[in-house]
Amino acid sequence: MSGPGDLMLEVTGLSVHFGGLRAVDNVDFNVAKSEILGLVGPNGAGKTTTFNTVFGMIKPDAGRIALRGADVTGLPSERINALGVARTFQNVRPFAELSVRENIMMGAYGAGFCGVAASALRLPRHRRLERLAQERADHWIARLGLAAYADLLTTALPFGLQRVAEVARAMASAPDLLLLDEPAAGLNAVEKQELSRMLITINQETGCSLLLIDHDMTMVMGLVQRVVVMDFGKKIADGTPAQVAADRKVIEAYLGV
């Protein structure tokens, strides 16, 4: 087990209500540094809500979210991003008017804000930040094999590549924790394998923790080191893929026995 100093993300007693519905009900889990954690559960289990709450898109009704031990509960997305967290979306969300390269450069935006004067007059600060964005974009374009598509509009790419471009955009912010919302959705078997390999490589090379959610257990099981299972807003299991797969409650949740 990892000590508290090694924790990247700690979620304690998280609850989110929509009207009378307890979408997330008193959920605890954590992600260690450099760990790959899967958050799984049937449709409607509250995975995406948990995810969006961690990323500051929804304000929780109760509970605490901490990054490297510091409380970040209720901070907006852009602040969470600045603290070293990036995410991808289930339905890819490229910036439709920007090229693949510019999309990935946008990922590095959190490195610093540049005001009107500094931007329009191309002051050193703008040049420095722009160069940083270029370098990171070049790195991830090369690393994830997007070189041939870099100057096309992202929307012109096939879906699988759009997803890769989105991972590149997320990684361009040099995150310590990457949140992946159903990264395998809409991909075929080959693409899923390639994606798994890509994510493992990213994890090994950068030491970035990965938190991915999926309702399909098969890809998750081969990829993650630990799994948290949710059902009806509650956490029902937490352990290695093998432990979780043998858990009665998990089997019930999936099979409805």
The residue type of 127 is R
- Residue with Cβ nearer another protein (95 or 240): 95
- Residue with Cβ nearer another protein (38 or 110): 110
Q: How many CA atoms lie within 13 A of 58 on its CB side?
A: 20
Closest CA to 175 of 53, 34, 74, 65: 34
**C-alpha to C-alpha distance for 207 and 210, rounded to whole angstroms:** 9
Footprint on this chain of another protein (rule: CB under 8 A):
55, 57, 76-78, 81-82, 86-87, 89, 93-99, 101-102, 105-107, 109-111, 113-116, 119-122, 126, 129-130, 133, 148-149, 151-153, 155-156, 169-170, 173
- Residue with Cβ nearer another protein (17 or 193): 17
**Least Å from the CB of residue 40 to another protein:** 22
**Least Å from the CB of residue 17 to another protein:** 14
**Least Å from the CB of residue 59 to another protein:** 12
Using alpha carbons only, give the angle 202, 46, 255 rounded to the nearest 5 degrees.
95
- Residue with Cβ nearer another protein (146 or 217): 146
Q: What tokens were used for 241?
A: 């893929």
- Residue with Cβ nearer another protein (32 or 75): 75
> CA dist 96 to 17, 102, 153, 172, 231, Å?
33, 10, 7, 18, 35
**Least Å from the CB of residue 178 to another protein:** 11
